Amino acid sequence: MGTASSILTQYDIEEVQEHCNNLFSQQEIVSLYQRFCQLDRNAKGFISADEFLSVPEFTMNPLSQRLLKMVDDLNFKDFVAFLSAFSAKASAQQKIELIFKVYDSDRNGKASFKDMLEVLKDLSGPFMSDEQREEVLSQVLREAGYTKDSYLTLDDFIKFLVNLT
Protein backbone atom coordinates (compact mmCIF):
# COMPACT_ATOMS: atom_id res chain seq x y z
CA MET A 1 0.00 0.00 0.00
CA GLY A 2 3.04 2.25 -0.14
CA THR A 3 2.16 3.77 -3.48
CA ALA A 4 -1.15 4.09 -5.20
CA SER A 5 0.00 1.95 -8.11
CA SER A 6 0.70 -1.06 -5.89
CA ILE A 7 -1.75 -3.93 -5.66
CA LEU A 8 -3.74 -4.57 -2.51
CA THR A 9 -2.85 -7.82 -0.81
CA GLN A 10 -5.26 -9.83 1.31
CA TYR A 11 -3.33 -8.59 4.34
CA ASP A 12 -3.78 -4.96 3.21
CA ILE A 13 -7.51 -5.46 2.72
CA GLU A 14 -7.92 -7.03 6.15
CA GLU A 15 -5.81 -4.30 7.76
CA VAL A 16 -8.00 -1.59 6.18
CA GLN A 17 -11.16 -3.43 7.21
CA GLU A 18 -9.94 -3.58 10.79
CA HIS A 19 -8.93 0.11 10.69
CA CYS A 20 -12.53 1.04 9.79
CA ASN A 21 -14.31 -1.33 12.16
CA ASN A 22 -15.23 -3.78 9.38
CA LEU A 23 -17.79 -1.41 7.90
CA PHE A 24 -16.76 -2.35 4.35
CA SER A 25 -16.62 -5.75 2.69
CA GLN A 26 -13.45 -6.91 0.95
CA GLN A 27 -15.01 -6.11 -2.43
CA GLU A 28 -15.96 -2.61 -1.23
CA ILE A 29 -12.36 -2.07 -0.07
CA VAL A 30 -11.08 -3.10 -3.51
CA SER A 31 -13.57 -0.73 -5.18
CA LEU A 32 -12.56 2.09 -2.85
CA TYR A 33 -8.92 1.41 -3.64
CA GLN A 34 -9.64 1.69 -7.38
CA ARG A 35 -11.37 5.03 -6.75
CA PHE A 36 -8.49 6.14 -4.54
CA CYS A 37 -6.03 5.35 -7.34
CA GLN A 38 -8.13 7.36 -9.80
CA LEU A 39 -8.11 10.35 -7.48
CA ASP A 40 -4.39 10.01 -6.71
CA ARG A 41 -3.42 11.26 -10.17
CA ASN A 42 0.32 11.41 -9.44
CA ALA A 43 0.43 8.00 -7.70
CA LYS A 44 1.90 9.57 -4.55
CA GLY A 45 0.02 7.28 -2.19
CA PHE A 46 -2.18 10.05 -0.81
CA ILE A 47 -4.91 12.35 -2.07
CA SER A 48 -4.50 16.10 -1.87
CA ALA A 49 -7.29 18.61 -1.36
CA ASP A 50 -6.99 19.60 -5.03
CA GLU A 51 -7.54 15.99 -6.08
CA PHE A 52 -10.64 15.78 -3.88
CA LEU A 53 -12.01 18.80 -5.70
CA SER A 54 -12.21 16.68 -8.86
CA VAL A 55 -15.17 14.83 -7.30
CA PRO A 56 -18.29 16.78 -8.37
CA GLU A 57 -20.37 15.61 -5.39
CA PHE A 58 -17.67 16.85 -3.07
CA THR A 59 -17.40 20.31 -4.62
CA MET A 60 -21.19 20.73 -4.64
CA ASN A 61 -21.35 20.18 -0.87
CA PRO A 62 -21.83 23.53 0.93
CA LEU A 63 -19.35 22.32 3.55
CA SER A 64 -16.66 21.32 1.04
CA GLN A 65 -14.14 23.91 2.23
CA ARG A 66 -14.45 22.63 5.80
CA LEU A 67 -14.25 19.03 4.64
CA LEU A 68 -11.13 19.81 2.59
CA LYS A 69 -9.29 20.58 5.82
CA MET A 70 -10.16 17.08 7.00
CA VAL A 71 -9.21 15.18 3.85
CA ASP A 72 -6.03 16.87 2.64
CA ASP A 73 -3.18 14.37 2.22
CA LEU A 74 -5.10 11.22 3.20
CA ASN A 75 -3.46 7.88 2.54
CA PHE A 76 -5.69 4.98 1.51
CA LYS A 77 -6.31 3.70 5.03
CA ASP A 78 -7.33 7.15 6.26
CA PHE A 79 -9.38 7.73 3.09
CA VAL A 80 -11.45 4.63 3.87
CA ALA A 81 -11.70 5.60 7.55
CA PHE A 82 -13.01 9.04 6.54
CA LEU A 83 -15.57 7.50 4.19
CA SER A 84 -16.65 4.96 6.81
CA ALA A 85 -18.55 7.67 8.71
CA PHE A 86 -20.80 7.99 5.63
CA SER A 87 -21.58 4.28 5.58
CA ALA A 88 -25.08 3.13 6.47
CA LYS A 89 -23.37 0.68 8.82
CA ALA A 90 -21.52 3.42 10.73
CA SER A 91 -22.59 3.98 14.31
CA ALA A 92 -24.30 7.15 15.44
CA GLN A 93 -21.14 7.90 17.46
CA GLN A 94 -18.96 7.77 14.31
CA LYS A 95 -21.34 10.07 12.44
CA ILE A 96 -21.51 12.52 15.34
CA GLU A 97 -17.71 12.58 15.63
CA LEU A 98 -17.44 13.49 11.94
CA ILE A 99 -20.06 16.22 12.30
CA PHE A 100 -18.23 17.60 15.33
CA LYS A 101 -14.99 17.75 13.31
CA VAL A 102 -16.81 19.81 10.71
CA TYR A 103 -17.71 22.36 13.39
CA ASP A 104 -14.31 22.24 15.12
CA SER A 105 -12.42 23.58 12.10
CA ASP A 106 -9.39 24.75 14.10
CA ARG A 107 -9.08 21.27 15.69
CA ASN A 108 -8.88 22.59 19.26
CA GLY A 109 -11.42 20.06 20.53
CA LYS A 110 -14.13 22.69 21.00
CA ALA A 111 -16.88 24.19 18.87
CA SER A 112 -17.54 27.84 19.65
CA PHE A 113 -20.56 29.96 18.78
CA LYS A 114 -18.48 31.42 15.97
CA ASP A 115 -17.62 27.93 14.64
CA MET A 116 -21.29 26.93 14.67
CA LEU A 117 -22.31 30.22 13.08
CA GLU A 118 -19.83 29.68 10.23
CA VAL A 119 -21.27 26.22 9.52
CA LEU A 120 -24.79 27.63 9.58
CA LYS A 121 -23.68 30.33 7.14
CA ASP A 122 -22.17 27.70 4.82
CA LEU A 123 -25.39 25.70 4.96
CA SER A 124 -27.88 28.56 4.63
CA GLY A 125 -25.98 30.67 2.11
CA PRO A 126 -27.76 33.85 1.05
CA PHE A 127 -31.14 32.62 2.29
CA MET A 128 -30.57 33.96 5.80
CA SER A 129 -29.06 37.19 7.02
CA ASP A 130 -26.23 37.21 9.57
CA GLU A 131 -28.70 38.52 12.14
CA GLN A 132 -31.17 35.70 11.43
CA ARG A 133 -28.44 33.09 11.75
CA GLU A 134 -27.28 34.52 15.07
CA GLU A 135 -30.85 34.64 16.36
CA VAL A 136 -31.61 31.05 15.31
CA LEU A 137 -28.37 29.66 16.72
CA SER A 138 -28.73 31.59 19.98
CA GLN A 139 -32.26 30.24 20.40
CA VAL A 140 -31.20 26.64 19.66
CA LEU A 141 -28.31 26.91 22.12
CA ARG A 142 -30.58 28.39 24.80
CA GLU A 143 -33.13 25.60 24.36
CA ALA A 144 -30.33 23.05 24.84
CA GLY A 145 -29.02 24.83 27.94
CA TYR A 146 -26.05 26.62 26.40
CA THR A 147 -25.17 30.25 25.71
CA LYS A 148 -23.31 32.13 22.98
CA ASP A 149 -20.24 32.00 25.23
CA SER A 150 -20.33 28.20 25.54
CA TYR A 151 -17.64 26.06 23.97
CA LEU A 152 -18.88 22.60 23.14
CA THR A 153 -16.52 19.63 23.48
CA LEU A 154 -17.44 16.39 21.72
CA ASP A 155 -19.25 15.20 24.87
CA ASP A 156 -21.12 18.53 25.11
CA PHE A 157 -21.93 18.31 21.40
CA ILE A 158 -23.47 14.86 21.90
CA LYS A 159 -25.53 16.16 24.85
CA PHE A 160 -26.50 19.19 22.76
CA LEU A 161 -27.80 16.94 19.97
CA VAL A 162 -29.67 14.75 22.44
CA ASN A 163 -31.29 17.82 24.02
CA LEU A 164 -32.52 18.95 20.59
CA THR A 165 -34.42 15.74 19.95
Show which of 63, 84, 105 is a domain's final residue: 84
Residue 5 has pLDDT above 50, yes or no: no
Show which of 84, 105, 140 is a domain's final residue: 84
Q: What pTM was estimated for this model as a whole?
A: 0.79
Average pLDDT, the chain: 89
Residues 158, 97: contact at Cβ < 8 Å?
no
* Assigned domain for 1 exists: no
Per-residue confidence (pLDDT) for residue 165, from 0 to 100? 64
Residue 107 sits in the same domain as residue 125: yes
Q: Which CATH number belongs to the domain containing residue 139 in this structure?
A: 1.10.238.10
Grade residue 6 by pLDDT with cuts at 50, 70 and 90: low
Residue 68 sits in the same domain as residue 127: no
User: Residue 96 sits in which domain range?
Assistant: 92-164
* Assigned domain for 107 exists: yes
